[in-house]
Amino acid sequence: MANPTSTRSDWLQSNLGRINWRQRLLSLVGPLAFLSPAGLWLLLFLAIPTLLILDISLVPGLRPGQATGAYGLGNYLQIFESVYLTVMGRSLFFAVGATVICLALGFPVAYWIALMSPKRWRNLLLVAFVLPLWTSSLLRAYAWITILRPTGLLNLILGALGLPTQQWLNTSVSVFIGLSYSFLPYMVLILYASLEKLDVRLLEAASDLGATPQQAFWRVTIPQTLPGIAAGSLLVFITSLGDFVVPTLLGGASSMNVARLIYNQFLGPTRNWGFGSALSMVLILAVSLAIALLLRYGDRASVSEPHQ
């Protein structure tokens, strides 16, 4: 079966293959040098840990120190007990509420800075508005305790005006105040990026064609900035959904949300790692779902640089 031509081509092919392999190996050095250190770290401290909590979330009744148990969906079914359903519902309520408030407060601010303020102040105004993001989120939530506590500034002012003082701290109201205070800058940042790109000529065209400013706003501005609105809303939604500090400091015992519930399964009085892991997986799933929706329908560009 071995005729000369075929052996020759075999030889050529096998040698070419070897050269290819060598080149391939050499071409791997660059990517490996750049990407493997961070990649290994993310694999070790992010990817594997996440798979691990997925694993133990599927073992009902696992206690710390216990190595294994039988697989089952018990931890996930436990979430459907009414106590925990209330907590999940409350987390959603906080997140949706904070998103709506941030959108309502953030849109006029971003609109004014992006389109109506003097041009050379715009960058400075935006930077000034988001500056509090650089300070500790813990301290920003704490600052509201001073204002909202029973003997705090708000009640002091209300009392001085002759108005009835109220219990603000440890209510849903103070959680909403805290969440919208914490995440309003994100909303303004993303809406600004979106409004800045708005083609003003479209608005002029609308007005030339006889649209009132209101009509132009609802039919031109809003549709044009919809991707930014979606991106900003989902960012605020996600960060509020998983927030721990604000509900703990401002919400008191009645504002248990999913992050606090998870915390308690690990560091609090009730130690149930399996249930805590199941809750974490549900939280991760909810966030991934929101991101998937955003990537499908939203504005990628404005999410890829959330901070600068």
Partner 1 sequence: MAGFSVRPRLQVSWQSLFTALMFVFMYLPIGVLALYSFNESRYSAGWEGFSLRWYQTLFSDARIFAALQDSLFVAFCAVGISAVLGTLMAIGLAKYRFPGKPLYRGISYLPLIVPDIAIAVATLVFLASVAVPLSIWTIIAAHMVFCLAYIAVVVSSRLLGLDPNLEEAALDLGATPFQALVKVLIPQLAPGIISGCLLAFVLSMDDLLISSFTAGGGANPLPLEIFSRVRTGVKPDINALSVVLILGSGLIAAASEYIRYRSERKTQTK
Q: Using CB under 8 A, which residues numbered 264 to 293 contact partner 1? A: 266-267, 273, 276-277, 280, 283-284, 287-288, 291
Q: How far is the CB of 5 from partner 1 (least distance, A)?
A: 36
Q: How far is the CB of 9 from partner 1 (least distance, A)?
A: 30
Alpha carbon separation from 74 to 58, 78, 228, 263 (Å, rounded)? 7, 6, 40, 19
Longest dimension (CA), the chain: 109
Q: Which of residues 68-127 bind partner 1 (CB under 8 A)?
A: 105, 108-109, 111-113, 115-119, 127
Q: How far is the CB of 158 from partner 1 (least distance, A)?
A: 11
DSSP notation for 59-97: STT--TT-------SHHHHHTTSHHHHHHHHHHHHHHHH
Comparison of 228 and 240: residue with beta carbon closer to partner 1: 240
**Which of 92, 147, 158, 173 is in the footprint of partner 1 by CB under 8 A?**
147
Instruction: Scan for tokens 């929101």, then name that residue.
Output: 290
Comparison of 4 and 210: residue with beta carbon closer to partner 1: 210
Q: How far is the CB of 123 from partner 1 (least distance, A)?
A: 8
**Which of 128, 205, 289, 293 is in the footprint of partner 1 by CB under 8 A?**
128
Count the Cβ atoms, other than its own, within 10 Å of residue 23: 10
User: Residue 233 has which token pair?
Assistant: 């809303």
Comparison of 14 and 151: residue with beta carbon closer to partner 1: 151
For residue 176, state whether it binds partner 1 (rule: CB under 8 A).
no
For residue 139, state whether it binds partner 1 (rule: CB under 8 A).
yes
Comparison of 21 and 45: residue with beta carbon closer to partner 1: 45
CB 198 within 8 A of CB 115: yes
Alpha carbon separation from 293 to 94, 101, 235 (Å, rounded)? 20, 21, 12
Half-sphere exposure of 39 (CA within 13 A, CB side): 6
Q: Which of residues 187-246 bind partner 1 (CB under 8 A)?
A: 200, 203-204, 207, 212-213, 238-239, 241-245
Residue among 240, 259, 237, 238 at smallest CA distance from 248: 259
**Which of 6, 7, 13, 146 is in the footprint of partner 1 by CB under 8 A?**
146
Q: How far is the CB of 49 from partner 1 (least distance, A)?
A: 4
**Which of 30, 162, 210, 269 is in the footprint of partner 1 by CB under 8 A?**
30
Q: Enumerate residues 6+ apart whose C-beta is below 8 A from 294.
A: 230, 231, 234, 303
Q: Enumerate residues 6+ apart whose C-beta is below 8 A from 152.
A: 145, 146, 168, 169
Comparison of 7 and 270: residue with beta carbon closer to partner 1: 270
Pick the stretch among 4-12, 16-24, 50-58, 78-86 that binds partner 1 (CB under 8 A): 50-58
User: Residue 35 has which token pair?
Assistant: 């990407």
Question: What number of chain residues touch partner 1 (CB under 8 A)?
Answer: 93
